[in-house]
Homo-oligomer: A and B are copies of this chain.
Amino acid sequence: MKRLLITGAAGGLGRVARKRLAHLAPTLRITDIVDLGPANANEEVVQADLADPKAVMDLVEGCDGIVHLGGISTEQSFSKILDGNIIGVRNLYEAARAHGQPRIFFAGSNHVVGFYRQDEPVDLSSPVRPDGIYGVSKCFGEALARFYYEKVGQESAIVRIGSCFEKPTDYRMLSTWLSYNDFVRLVERVFDVPWLGCPTVWGVSNNSRAWWSNDAVRYLGWHPKDSADGYEAEVRANNWPSADHPLARLQGGNNTADPLSRD
């Protein structure tokens, strides 16, 4: 790649991506709706709103790879999710279509299946059961990515990210944690494999308690090496839920118990 676009670069995972993905291309173009600070060497910094189609066209032009972390990544008001995760994603794919179809790493979410119980095996044949309007918006994104693949051959990796943080800090994350290192290795693979197609990948480290399997995408050559297992004692000491806690029974954890936003 010559130029890799990273959207949402001011977010939690975006800041990791900015720091850790620089080796993937001579130029990183990083963007967010908020200020990103000064550009590092090899960086192009663009403040932009994904909901603005013209701005997104400009963002994508000249890029041959996109790591799409932008938009909203938690349960928030519908209007914000609409802008970021519905309109924004559509803008992105239209811009990709207009500019040579750079491969896209699409940050989806496990919250598309959050209302399954933790003892229910879920795979790609399981109908979605989103646990919030955020999860619903990610269903939209997945469907859009698939559509552009079938329609014009636009390649995307749809990555249903578990919990991508420094370390797992609660019971559920012992199952869902994705380490930063494993995230980086997955991005590398998505852009490295000669032919990608449009796979759906569970973004989860090699946790013994992980509910999901990536056996269906072994062709990607991604092998998460980190595991939440080593953090179990720490989690156990601080934060072991009771049987009726939302973290204990449903895959979506606390999201399943959040109040439904009215705005």
Contact = CB atoms under 8 A, between A and B. Distances in A.
Given A175-B219, A209-B220, 19 more contacts: A78-B90, A82-B86, A86-B86, A115-B146, A119-B216, A130-B144, A132-B147, A136-B144, A136-B147, A139-B140, A139-B142, A139-B143, A140-B140, A194-B241, A194-B243, A208-B218, A209-B218, A211-B219, A221-B232
A248 B146 CA distance: 20
B194 A143 contact: no
Nearest to A127: B124
A174 interface: yes
A103 to B, nearest CB: 9
A53 B131 CA distance: 22
A87 interface: yes
Contacts of A118: 195, 219
B147 A135 contact: yes
Given A121-B216, A217-B119, A195 B146 contact: no
24 contacts: A115-B150, A118-B219, A119-B199, A119-B216, A125-B126, A130-B144, A131-B147, A133-B144, A136-B140, A139-B142, A150-B256, A152-B260, A171-B194, A175-B219, A194-B242, A194-B245, A194-B248, A195-B244, A195-B248, A195-B249, A209-B218, A209-B219, A211-B219, A213-B215
